[in-house]
C-alpha cells in the first residue's frame, strides 16, 4: 500500500500555520490532531520552591500560574523525560512580576513570551522562588499542551452556477475555512466568509472535497507550528513501531 499525500501550505507563520493535505483518511487526520493536542511533550514548570512570598497570593496559586507560562521546548532528543531545568525569579514591589523576569539556567528552555503577568506586587512585597521545569504531555496536564488551537476542516469546492434571477435578492452565504475555486485555494476571510461577496449575482454550489483536509495549527510558542506537526506524526510513528515490536514477540 503506497500512500500518496500531498501537502500545500495556505498560511505560514512561526506559531500559526494553515495547510492542506490531500489523500488522508478521516481517522488519520484526527489521529494527528489529537496527537498535536495531547501527545507532544513540552516543557513546563512543575515544582516551585518559594524562598520569599509576601505577595497577596498563596504559594500554590503562584505555582499554578508559573506552571502555565509557556516555555520553549528544545528539539527532540535534547532532553529526556525526567530531565529538569531550573528557573528562578526575584522581583520586588512595587511593580508586576512578568514571565520575562524568570531567569533560566539553560537557554534552550526560557519563557516563550516575556509579557505574561504573574502577579502584581505592592510596595514592600517580594517574590523570590526557584522553579523546576520538566517535560511532559498535554494528556497529563494542560500546561504541557503545545498546540493551543488545532483543528481541521474539509476543503470545500465551489462551483459557480447560473445567474440568479433579476428580481431575486441575493442572500448571504457564509462559509468558513478554505475554498477551492478552479484549483485555486482561497481563504474565506478574503471575502468576509461570504460567498455572495465573491460571486455577486451568481448561484454557487459548495461541496466537501473527499480526503482533503485543511489543518489549522497554532502553538503556545513552545516550538514552531511546523515542528508540532512533525513531532505529532513522530509520536504516532513511534507507537506503531512499539506495537509492531510487541506483536512480534
Residues that bind another protein (CB under 8 A): 1-9, 19, 21, 24-28, 30-32, 34-35, 38-39, 139, 226, 229-230, 233-234, 236-237, 239-248
Q: 34 vs 202, which CB is nearer to another protein?
A: 34
The least distance separating another protein from the CB of residue 185, rounded to whole angstroms, comes to: 13
The least distance separating another protein from the CB of residue 110, rounded to whole angstroms, comes to: 25
Q: 97 vs 180, which CB is nearer to another protein?
A: 180
For residues 153 and 184, the answer to whether their CB atoms sit within 8 Å is no
Question: What is the SS3 assignment for 178?
Answer: strand
Phi-psi bin for 11: left (phi > 0), alpha (psi -120 to 50), beta? beta
The least distance separating another protein from the CB of residue 111, rounded to whole angstroms, comes to: 26
Can you give the C-alpha Rg of the chain in angstroms?
Answer: 24
Match 485555486 to its residue by C-alpha cell. Answer: 184
Quick one: 238 exposed, middle or buried, by C-beta within 10 A (0-12, 13-18, 19+)?
A: exposed
Q: 33 vs 65, which CB is nearer to another protein?
A: 33
The least distance separating another protein from the CB of residue 190, rounded to whole angstroms, comes to: 21
Amino acid at each position: 500500500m503506497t500512500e500518496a499525500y500531498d501537502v500545500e501550505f495556505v498560511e505560514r507563520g512561526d506559531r500559526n500555520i494553515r495547510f492542506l493535505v490531500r489523500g488522508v483518511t478521516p481517522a488519520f487526520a484526527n489521529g494527528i490532531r489529537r496527537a498535536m493536542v495531547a501527545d507532544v511533550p513540552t516543557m513546563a514548570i512543575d515544582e516551585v520552591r518559594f524562598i520569599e512570598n509576601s505577595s497577596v497570593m498563596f504559594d500554590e496559586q503562584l505555582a499554578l500560574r508559573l506552571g502555565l507560562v509557556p516555555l520553549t521546548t528544545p528539539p527532540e532528543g535534547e532532553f529526556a523525560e525526567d530531565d529538569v531545568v531550573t528557573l528562578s525569579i526575584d522581583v520586588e514591589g512595587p511593580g508586576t512580576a512578568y514571565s520575562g523576569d524568570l531567569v533560566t539556567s539553560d537557554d534552550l528552555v526560557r519563557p516563550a513570551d516575556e509579557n505574561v503577568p504573574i502577579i502584581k506586587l505592592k510596595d514592600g512585597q517580594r517574590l523570590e522562588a526557584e522553579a523546576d521545569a520538566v517535560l511532559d504531555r498535554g494528556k497529563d496536564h494542560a500546561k504541557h499542551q503545545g498546540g493551543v488551537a488545532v483543528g481541521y476542516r474539509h476543503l470545500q469546492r465551489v462551483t459557480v452556477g447560473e445567474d440568479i434571477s433579476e428580481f431575486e435578492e441575493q442572500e448571504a452565504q457564509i462559509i468558513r475555512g478554505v475554498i477551492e475555486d478552479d484549483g485555486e485555494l482561497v481563504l474565506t476571510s478574503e471575502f468576509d466568509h461570504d460567498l455572495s461577496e465573491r460571486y455577486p449575482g451568481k448561484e454557487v454550489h459548495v461541496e466537501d472535497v473527499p480526503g482533503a483536509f485543511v489543518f489549522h495549527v497554532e502553538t503556545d510558542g513552545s516550538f514552531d507550528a511546523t515542528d508540532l506537526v512533525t513531532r505529532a506524526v513522530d509520536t504516532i510513528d513511534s507507537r506503531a513501531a512499539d506495537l509492531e515490536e510487541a506483536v512480534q514477540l
